[in-house]
Amino acid sequence: MKDDYLQKILAARVYDVAVESPLEPVAGISRRMANHVLLKREDKQSVFSFKLRGAYNKMAHLSTAKLARGVICASAGNHAQGVALAAQKLGTSATIVMPVTTPRIKVAAVAARGANVVLHGDSYHEANVHARALARKQGRTFVHPYDDPLVIAGQGTIGMEILRQHAQPIDAIFIPVGGGGLIAGIASYVKRVSPRTRIIGVEPTDSNAMTASLKAGKRVTLPHVNLFADGVAVRQVGKETFRLAKKLVDEMVLVDTDEICAAIKDIFEDTRTIVEPSGALALAGAKRWAAKRKAKGRTLVAIACGANMNFDRLRFVAERAELGEHREAVLGVTIPEKPGSFRALCELLGKRSVTEFNYRYADDSAAHIFLGISVSSREETDRIIGQLTRKGMKTVDLSDNETAKLHVRHLVGGRGRGAKGEMLYRFEFPERPGALMNFLTHMGSGWNISLFHYRNHGADVGRVLVGLQIPERERGAFRRFLRELGYDYTDESRNPAYRLFLR
């Protein structure tokens, strides 16, 4: 096939529906990375994604007869919205086949534009097979999300805009990669006009079809893909996009889920915009690339390709962002089960900000504590582990342990059958640096702590659940202690949840 993509891009019909999205410098990110970083804000399109460019360019070139029969596509959401919008604009009907795992916000957005939504399969691959079968049966034109020259050319207009918007040399453009349409289009333009600009693709470590294909020298099909970054969750890249990538892509970068979450937070802090996981993928890749090469003073562009984020994902993103930035360490600490051990641990931690502290009495020999703590780097995590270990507190770094982060942190505990005379209290105190350590210091008054749970929720009030073994003869002294402590508290010893699951 003749490589006439420069001409195709220059002639692309996208601006009937698309806007020339801003190329914005991000001061905070640039300062932290010590590079000049710019975001290409494709999340500002009317469908909150770049996908309308390629979809409209393809459909605008269809004959009147083909438009009359309607179009069909398979998509996890963003391409679907582009096709639905283009169908509205061109006066044709559209059927969209979406995986059943597609976020509701995307399904609703497509249906709102008048398209007929068909939910089928658990992945894009299964939806694609079904959509092609329907296309043959109904005589509709199949609009591929990436493996079509007109779609590729439509996405390539982003590269044209970047070079027009930034007249100075650009060292690298970081591009999220799913099926490859976006990177193929941008690279086709940029490498003709600014060949020194590096084209760097970014994929999740567990959805790396392009990386695997380039390494193998042929298209490979992944057995499965992770759906967190659903916009790039593709098992096999396109035939034409792979051909172009082999010629034009300089390198690929892989990032994990925590790094994507950290990039979502970075973009929010600089722009007050929440992008979807695939929308933060390019920035996550730029951060990893720059850190690995110790790059300084470079001009780097990252494509913020979409902002169709489900609100209920934000809880997960917020929890994992600090881990992705290596600003939180998750540790498993074992201390002797004897008076004073708990306080000794707290003194070692000093005034560091604790994000989570889970402990449940198990037996008379040792106590296992699930600890989250704010750090500035992996090096600080290593120093903390060394300090704890030297004091006889065996410590395991769980920061990269997916099971620990997803499940175990919420399941720490169990029934303290040996915790005789236990009383359960819930405390609230003003949340500020050092507040938890101050609370723990006051609690160290001789009574054995048999349960402890604290999580930093980012609110202005700290909430702690504490179990203490108080002998009957000391209950009066304990009540006086509570009054003198000065914190709001509630006796939860008769709480049915406690009695069912923890007593």
- List the structure tokens of 238: 């396109």
Does residue 162 have a pLDDT over 60? yes
* CB-based contact 309:330 (threshold 8 Å): no
What span, in angstroms and rounded, lies between the C-alpha atoms of 212 and 85?
A: 33
Which residue's entry shows tokens 């042929």? 218
Phi-psi category of 114—alpha, beta or left, where left has phi over 0 and alpha has psi -120 to 50?
left
Q: What's the pLDDT score for residue 385? A: 92
Strand partners, 371: 331, 357
Q: Tell me: the pLDDT tens digits for 206-227?
A: 899 999 999 999 999 998 887 7
Span 326-501: which CATH code? 3.40.1020.10
Q: Tell me: the pLDDT tens digits for 33-86?
A: 999 999 999 999 999 999 999 999 999 999 999 999 999 999 877 899 999 999
Q: What's the pLDDT score for residue 57? A: 98
**Which of residues 483 and 290 earns the better pLDDT score?**
290
All residues at 6 or more sequence positions from 496 whose CB lies less than 8 Å from its CB, including other chains: none
* Cβ atoms within 10 Å of 396's Cβ, excluding its own: 13
Starting from the edge strand earliest in sequence, which strands make up the sheet with 198-204, in order? 23-25, 36-41, 299-304, 172-176, 198-204, 251-255
Instruction: Report the percent of the chain where pLDDT is more than 90.
Output: 54
**Which of residues 501 and 441 earns the better pLDDT score?**
441
Does residue 196 have a pLDDT over 70? yes
Element (H, E) at 188: helix 181-193
Does residue 268 have a pLDDT over 70? yes
Q: Tell me: the pLDDT tens digits for 134-152?
A: 999 999 999 999 999 999 9
Q: What's the pLDDT score for residue 1? A: 42
Strands annotated E in 337-487: 354-360, 366-374, 394-397, 422-430, 448-455, 461-469
Q: Tell me: the pLDDT tens digits for 488-500?
A: 788 888 877 677 5
Q: What's the pLDDT score for residue 355? A: 81
Does residue 501 have a pLDDT over 60? no
Strands annotated E in 83-189: 94-98, 116-119, 141-142, 172-176
- Which amino acid, 426? R
Strand partners, 469: 422, 448
Does residue 409 have a pLDDT over 60? yes
**Which of residues 270 and 361 earns the better pLDDT score?**
270
Strand partners, 24: 39
With b meaning 16 or more CB within 10 Å and e meaning fewer, what string describes 61-93?
ebeeeebebbbbbbbbbbbbbbbbbbbeebebe
- Angle in degrees, 0-180, between the axes of helices 181-193 and 149-165, rounded to the nearest 10: 50
Q: Tell me: the pLDDT tens digits for 344-360?
A: 888 888 878 888 888 76
Phi-psi category of 466—alpha, beta or left, where left has phi over 0 and alpha has psi -120 to 50?
beta
Burial of 181 (0-12, 13-18, 19+ CB in 10 A): buried
- List the structure tokens of 378: 């992996």
Residue 145: DSSP 8-state: S
Least confident of 270-284, 290-304, 448-462: 448-462
Q: What's the pLDDT score for residue 318? A: 83
Which of these, 279, 216, 231, 260, lies nearest to 75 by C-alpha position? 231
Backbone φ and ψ for 134, nearest 5 degrees, come out as -65, -35
- List C-alpha distances in Å: 256 to 118, 244, 262, 327: 31, 26, 10, 15
What span, in angstroms and rounded, lies between the C-alpha atoms of 156 and 448?
A: 66
pTM of full prediction above 0.85: no
Provide the mean pLDDT of the chain: 88
Which residue's entry shows tokens 């034109």? 141
What span, in angstroms and rounded, lies between the C-alpha atoms of 427 and 404?
A: 26
Q: What's the pLDDT score for residue 398? A: 86
Q: Is the dihedral of CA 234, 240, 243, 245 positive or negative?
A: negative
